[in-house]
Structure 1
Amino acid sequence: MTVLALLLAGYSIFCAVALAVLQLRNDSGTRRPFAQTMGLLTLALLAGLQGAHATWLYADVPAPHERLYTLALFAVAPCFFLFSRELLTPARAQPRPRDAWHALPLLAAFLLPEEAARPTAFLIGAGYLLWLGRRLLALRPERARFRIEIGLLGTAFLLAIAVALAGMAPGLLPDKRFTALYAIAIGMAFLLVQTTLHQRPQLEAEVQEAAQGAYQHTTLARVDCDAALARLSQLMQTQRLFVDPALSLPALAARLDLTTHQLSELLNTRLGKSFARYVREQRIEAAKSMLCDEPSASVLSVGLAVGFAAQSNFYEAFRDIEGMTPGQYRKVHGPAARR
């Protein structure tokens, strides 16, 4: 168990760095600075906790009893709460003054005696997780779109609840055994998140749009939806707006004389897809034509020509939509395959 815990602790730290870089490079235009800060802070806290776990399990240094560890334990749940709230309730544009109340748990790290601090931290964490579960219930109408992702993230959620319950009963497991289990649970959660993002790279943007539809009334009452969709198709086919890597929901909405909420709802309700998914599909369709019609063009040049900012993004999107890599698609459907 200790070896597995050490391996997953190292994996968690690596994933935290990778996800932080991904957040900083995000160019979707959907993440707000406050949410991004909370997301980065959550990753830093989880990496710090895993570093402390590895130190204790490998070098027998009792880091979990140090005050900084306890502080991180209390801080990770509120930070994740504030990040998730921005994702699940996208209409809220700015943090509110009463958000300062979420700093109160940090005081417990200094005021409570050591033997009471850990179970209290996990009790608070369980409360935040229950809030998250309640928010996710609001996305029930969208569950068909996120069936696999909900299953993976739901498993991570159950792991977190199990650890929180175990942490509230400090006598249930020896400290070192519990630390190993906690490290394994965090590592498994990172693995599930990474798997989910690999399956659906633009999941964050799509969940934001789904949440937006769940929390607001229709914005399309005075919109000619058929005309708007026809205009959208024309813009994509004749002007190829999707080749712009910086194309954003607000920019496209402005071209259609719609608000961002209207365009998002139009795509979700009439086409059954998010803005991010719609643009990716437009780019992949164009890429498929180029791969077959221009056999001498490199895969990288094709991806860049249709609007992807990096080769990795092109490969992820192509595999997500077509179930194969661009190179494999060219072999199956290109000029050589037709001879």
Structure 2
Amino acid sequence: MLLTALAGACTAFAALLAVALVTAPSRMVMPWSARVGGAVMLAGLTLTAWQHVGLAALGATDAPPWSYGAGLFAQSWGFYALLSGVLQPADRRRGLVIAGGALSAALAVLVPPIWAIPVSLTLGTAYALHLGALVYRLRATRRWFRVELPVVLAFAVMGLGVGVAGALTPRAIPWDLFALAYSVQMAAGFLLVSALLLLVPDLATKTQEAVSTSYAQSSLGRVDVAQATERLRRLFEDEHLYRDEDLGLAKLARRVDLSPHQLSELLNVRFGESFSKFVRRHRVAAASRMLIDEPRASVLSVGLSVGFGSQSTFYAAFKEETGLVPGEFRRRNLPSDHSGNVQVVD
């Protein structure tokens, strides 16, 4: 019963992450290998979770079915392909990812089922360690580096732990205990990823900005920088594009007729800002005007109208830019001839 409940929970988490993966194109650029890897990873995790229900019924002399090992190899490679695509430029060569896929497929066929667990999860640990090295490269440009790296390393440790347990099963650890322990760990992994995405909702976009900066080689040689800067000005000052809550680096790059890498470099060179800070500055400036010009409007409605997705993100961004929360800013700056006649809405 517990294994079935855990499998259902993992399936629900996988479905939610699949939706996020499908909707990602509007917010960032990802290579085909990363999208394929994400789909393979989620399919492999879902298959593994449900196979644990049958695995628990195996006897001490039984081996897991071939499909169980295949699912483990699939999820390990998919995890690597997805995150390596996010942590490196989209146009970077994918030779290592393709080679890893070929190796995982070959091992899934050649490794005896009884050894599929330790071999696949040891390989997954190696993948996670390489991802940790990619995250470490971004340490100078990512404020959340100290959060992301421990998460990746935690997955490496989890994979190694399950691999060791798999090597001891069924001689020292019965199948039902192994299946339960691994299912609990999978559910914990999904919760960990979900918590990270809640903590940093624009994690993918900010990571892509860090990647563009970290791997930067000047891409503006043939770009009319003055013209591109003027297009940016029109989009933000005349068309108020910052009001688009779903505005991402890739989406803005298409509007400016640049690649995401070029746009990121342009913002850093001409404005000394990242994409996130550039958009945030315009949103806060617009909100500052609205707070004074429209004193009857609630603070939340002001934040949503300029493109912030929630009150918490609006308050955090506004205070970081101005040093004050929106309500206090309004009280301090509302003209005295309005303060006595108009009810100020926080």
Judge same fold: TM > 0.5, yes or no: yes
Instruction: Confirm or deny that 1:202 pairs with 2:196.
Output: no
- Kindly provide the amino acid, as one letter, of the partner of residue 185 in structure 2: A
Q: Residue 50 of structure 1: CA displacement?
A: 1.6
Letter in 1 for 2:188: M
Contact 1:74–1:121 (CA under 8 A) maintained in structure 2: yes
Q: What amino acid is aligned across from residue 117 of structure 1 in structure 2?
A: A
Which residue pairs with 1:49 in the alignment?
48
Which residue type is aligned with residue 44 of structure 2? L
Aligned counterpart, 2:85:
86
Contact 1:250-1:259 within 8 A present in 2 as well: yes
2:242 matched to which residue of 1?
Answer: 242
Give the aligned length. 325
The CA distance in 1 between the partners of 2:39 and 2:302, in whole Å, is 32
Matches within 5 A, 1:175-214: 175-214=175-214
Structure 1 residue 18, shift from structure 2 partner? 0.7
Check conservation: 2:267, 2:274, Cα contact below 8 A.
yes
List per-residue Cα deviations over 1:62-88 (Å, max 9, x = no partner).
898222222101111112222122111
Matched, 1:167 2:166: yes
RMSD: 4.3
- Which amino acid in the other structure matches residue 81 of structure 2? L
Deviates more, 1:146-155 or 1:184-193: 146-155
Identity %: 30
Q: Is the 8 A contact 2:40 2:78 kept in 1?
A: yes
- In structure 2, what is the Cα distance between the partners aligned to 1:336 and 1:158? 57
Could you tell me which residue of structure 1 aligns to residue 336 of structure 2? none
Contact 1:73 1:121 in 2 (8 A): yes
Please tell me the residue identity of whatever aligns with 1:75.
A
Q: How far, CA to CA, are the matches of 1:253 and 1:53 in structure 2?
A: 45
Is contact 1:35–1:82 with CA below 8 Å preserved after alignment? yes
Aligned residue number for residue 19 of structure 1: 17
- 1:10 partner amino acid: G
Partner residue in 2 for 1:326? none
* Structure 1 contact 8–187 (Cα < 8 Å) conserved: yes
Per-residue CA shift, 1:200-259, capped at 9, x if unaligned? 111112112212322233557899999987985675234422234675535645776865
Shift of residue 126 of structure 1?
2.0
Q: Which amino acid aligns with 1:46?
A: L
Partner of 1:262: 262
1:6 touches 1:54 (CA, 8 Å); kept in 2? yes
Per the alignment, in what secondary structure is the counterpart of residue 89 of structure 2? coil
Which whole-Å CA distance do the structure 2 matches of 1:43 and 1:272 have between them?
39
Q: TM-score, normalised by structure 1?
A: 0.74
- SS of the equivalent of 1:90 reads coil
In the superposition, relative to structure 1, how do residues 146 and 124 fare at CA in structure 2: closer, same or farther (>3 Å)? closer
Deviation per CA, 1:154-207: give whole Å up to 9, x if none.
434433333334334445533322222211222111111111111111111211
What is the rounded CA distance, in whole Å, between the counterparts of 1:96 and 1:206 in structure 2? Answer: 25
> C-alpha distance in 2, partners of 1:269/1:150?
28
One-letter amino acid matched to 2:20: L
Give runs of aligned pairs for residues 224-303 of structure 1, distance below 5 A: 232=232, 235-244=235-244, 247-249=247-249, 252-253=252-253, 260-267=260-267, 274-276=274-276, 278-279=278-279, 282-283=282-283, 286=286, 290=290, 293=294, 295=296, 303=304
Distance 1:246 1:98, change over 3 A: closer
Partner of 2:107: 108
Greater CA drift, 278-287 or 28-37: 278-287
Shift of 1:104: 3.5
**Distance (Å, rounded) in 2 between the aligned partners of 1:248 and 1:315:** 19
2:119 aligned with 1:120: yes
- CA radius of gyration, larger in: 2
**Residue among 8, 15, 20 paired with 1:10:** 8
In 1, Cα distance between the equivalents of 2:63 and 2:284? Answer: 49
> In 2, distance between residues paired with 1:257 and 1:269?
17
Counterpart of 1:209 in 2: which secondary structure? helix
CA–CA distance in structure 1, aligned partners of residues 97 and 201 of structure 2: 33
Q: Is the 8 A contact 2:132 2:153 kept in 1?
A: no
The equivalent of 2:72 in structure 1 is 73
- Structure 2 counterpart of 1:15, which letter? F
184-193 or 258-267: bigger deviation: 258-267
What secondary structure, in the 3-state scheme, does the structure 1 residue paired with 2:140 have?
Answer: helix
